[in-house]
Amino acid sequence: MPVSGSCPGCRKGKKTFILSGEIFRIEESRENQVKTRLNIAEKLFQTCKTFLKDAQIIRICKVSRSSYEERKKAKTDEDERQAKQKAEDDSLKEKMIQIIHRLGGEIPGYRTFSVFLWRLFDVKAGHKKIARLMKEMNLKATIRKKDAYKGAARHDHPCTAPDNLVNQNFRVKPRHIICTDITYLPYGISNGLIYLCIFKDAFTKEILGWASGTHMTVSLIQKAYDRMMADHGSELKTKEVLVHSDQGSQYLSSTFKKLLSDDSLLQSVSARANSQDNAPAESFFGLMKPHMLEVLKLCRNTEEAIEMVDGYIHTYNSDRYQYELAGLTPHEFYLFKESGIYPCDNYYGVKADRLHSIEEIVNHHLEEASKKAEKMRSIYGLRSRAAQLLRKNPIDVIQNDQLILQERIRSDTEHIEKVQEEIFHLTDALKQAKGAEEWMRNLDSSQLEYYRIPQNWQKEPHLQYIWKMTGLF
User: What's 352's domain CATH number?
Assistant: 3.30.420.10
Q: What is the spatial distance between Cα 405 and Cα 409, in angstroms, rounded to a whole number?
A: 6
pLDDT at 220: 94
Among residues 146, 177, 117, 171, the alpha carbon closest in space to that of 327 is found at 117
Same structural domain, 306 and 248: yes
Mean pLDDT of 205-228: 94
Instruction: With a cut of 60, say whether residue 148 has pLDDT above it.
Output: no
Same structural domain, 223 and 296: yes
Instruction: With a cut of 70, say whether residue 33 has pLDDT above it.
Output: no
Confidence of residue 1 (pLDDT cuts 50, 70, 90): very low
- 168/210: higher pLDDT: 210
* Distance (Å) of CA 328 to CA 91, 109, 228, 357, 439: 24, 16, 21, 15, 81
Cα 310 from chain centre: 18
Contact present, 286 and 144 (Cβ < 8 Å)? yes
Mean pLDDT of 107-118: 85
Hey, is 25 helix, strand or coil?
Answer: strand
Same structural domain, 363 and 406: no
Hey, is 109 helix, strand or coil?
Answer: coil
What would you report as the CA-atom Rg of the chain, rounded to the nearest whole angstrom?
Answer: 38
Same structural domain, 208 and 93: no
Q: What is the spatial distance between Cα 326 and Cα 471, in angstroms, rounded to a whole number?
A: 61
Number of domains observed in the structure of the chain: 4
Mean pLDDT of 258-280: 85
pLDDT at 339: 76
Among residues 93, 90, 83, the alpha carbon closest in space to that of 117 is found at 93
pLDDT at 186: 93
Plot region of 15 (φ>0 → left; ψ -120 to 50 → alpha; else → beta): beta
Q: In the listed set 388, 417, 446, which residue is the last one of a domain according to the structure?
A: 388
Confidence of residue 28 (pLDDT cuts 50, 70, 90): very low
Same structural domain, 380 and 425: no
Contact present, 272 and 158 (Cβ < 8 Å)? yes
Same structural domain, 311 and 453: no
Q: Is residue 229 part of a domain?
A: yes
Instruction: With a cut of 90, say whether residue 213 has pLDDT above it.
Output: yes
Same structural domain, 84 and 108: yes
pLDDT, the chain, mean: 79
156-200: pLDDT as tens digits:
555 666 788 888 888 888 989 999 999 999 999 888 899 999 999
Q: Is residue 33 part of a domain?
A: yes
Hey, is 349 helix, strand or coil?
Answer: coil
CA torsion sign, 111 to 115 to 120 to 121? positive
Confidence of residue 327 (pLDDT cuts 50, 70, 90): confident
Contact present, 210 and 144 (Cβ < 8 Å)? no
pLDDT at 303: 94
Q: Is residue 409 part of a domain?
A: yes
Q: Is residue 80 part of a domain?
A: yes
- 139/392: higher pLDDT: 139
Q: What are phi and psi of 267, to 5 degrees?
A: -100, 135
Q: What are phi and psi of 235, to 5 degrees?
A: -80, -25
**Range in 179-183, 287-291, 318-322, 394-398 the model is least confident about:** 394-398
Helix axes 279-295, 302-318, angle to 10 degrees: 130
Instruction: With a cut of 60, say whether residue 313 has pLDDT above it.
Output: yes
Q: Is residue 153 part of a domain?
A: no
Instruction: With a cut of 60, say whether residue 19 has pLDDT above it.
Output: no
**What's the DSSP call for residue 328?**
B
Q: Is residue 68 part of a domain?
A: no
Same structural domain, 120 and 186: no
Same structural domain, 344 and 269: yes
The DSSP bridge partners found for residue 269 are 245
Confidence of residue 326 (pLDDT cuts 50, 70, 90): confident
Confidence of residue 473 (pLDDT cuts 50, 70, 90): low
Cα 11 from chain centre: 67
Contact present, 188 and 299 (Cβ < 8 Å)? yes
Same structural domain, 261 and 382: yes
Domain of 127? 74-136
pLDDT at 382: 66
- Beta-carbon contacts of residue 92 (< 8 Å; ≥ 6 apart): 117, 123, 125, 129, 130, 133
Same structural domain, 96 and 193: no
* Distance (Å) of CA 214 to CA 155, 183, 207: 21, 11, 20
Contact present, 134 and 110 (Cβ < 8 Å)? yes
Which of 150-154, 273-277, 330-334 holds the top average pLDDT?
330-334
Q: In the listed set 339, 360, 388, which residue is the last one of a domain according to the structure?
A: 388
- Beta-carbon contacts of residue 263 (< 8 Å; ≥ 6 apart): 229, 233, 236, 237
pLDDT at 204: 92
Mean pLDDT of 323-338: 86
**Range in 213-222, 266-275, 355-364, 404-413 the model is least confident about:** 355-364
Same structural domain, 238 and 179: yes
